[in-house]
Chain A
Amino acid sequence: GNSVTQMEGPVTLSEEAFLTINCTYTATGYPSLFWYVQYPGEGLQLLLKATKADDKGSNKGFEATYRKETTSFHLEKGSVQVSDSAVYFCALRFLGRGSTLGRLYFGRGTQLTVWP
């Protein structure tokens, strides 16, 4: 089946610390991979994505590389800020026509808290 496993939180860091949130997946096919972010009281927003092996998605200082050999898509940021405090979700999605395609499979989410 298809599933996403991400590291359990919560993760607590000081401002300017390095962040890694691990994400691995199992998939019956060749999915696209995503990181979504949920700020307090809000819906999910797309943070970054990668659609094929070795692609690197990046946005707002965050990066993640699609590693097919290790089925991973770890999220990293070199220097976190207080404003990065949120819940981060790793997800996969298959692209293509058909009634069973297009849904997102989510990990359980990782709560990040950054202290000043």
Chain B
Amino acid sequence: NAGVTQTPKFRVLKTGQSMTLLCAQDMNHEYMYWYRQDPGMGLRLIHYSVGEGTTAKGEVPDGYNVSRLKKQNFLLGLESAAPSQTSVYFCASSYTALNTEAFFGQGTRLTVV
């Protein structure tokens, strides 16, 4: 079982470039999340989605956009990358908020120079 798959795994961007991170899950989960992980900060929620066609802001949404056009995919976009967006990005999904476990992808390490 694939679970939650993130692509790419690594990426280096120049300041001002754009890119899209893809998260795909094959578990028919309703809820999907994008987190960023920074040293000493734990994981902070960027955006999330409670179903196909819906998205909402988390605690650190600035500089990011998301889309959930298909239930199995949750895309995170950076329109104009900044060095402050250098981080490790994790996608997670869960069946609903009634289900206790969230499943995480392997992460995407992004460096903005």
Contact = CB atoms under 8 A, between A and B. Distances in A.
14 contacts: A32-B100, A34-B100, A51-B100, A97-B96, A97-B98, A100-B56, A101-B97, A102-B48, A102-B97, A104-B33, A104-B45, A104-B92, A106-B44, A108-B41
Interface residues of A, number: 28
A29 interface: no
A98 to B, nearest CB: 7
Given A43-B90, A44-B90, A95 B100 contact: yes
Given A43-B90, A43-B107, A99-B56, A107 B100 contact: no
A42 interface: yes
Q: Helix, strand, loop or mixed for chain A's interface? A: loop
A106 B105 contact: no
B106 interface: yes
Contacts of B42: 4, 89, 106-109
A103 B90 contact: no
B106 A96 contact: no
Nearest to B44: A106
Contacts of B50: 99, 102
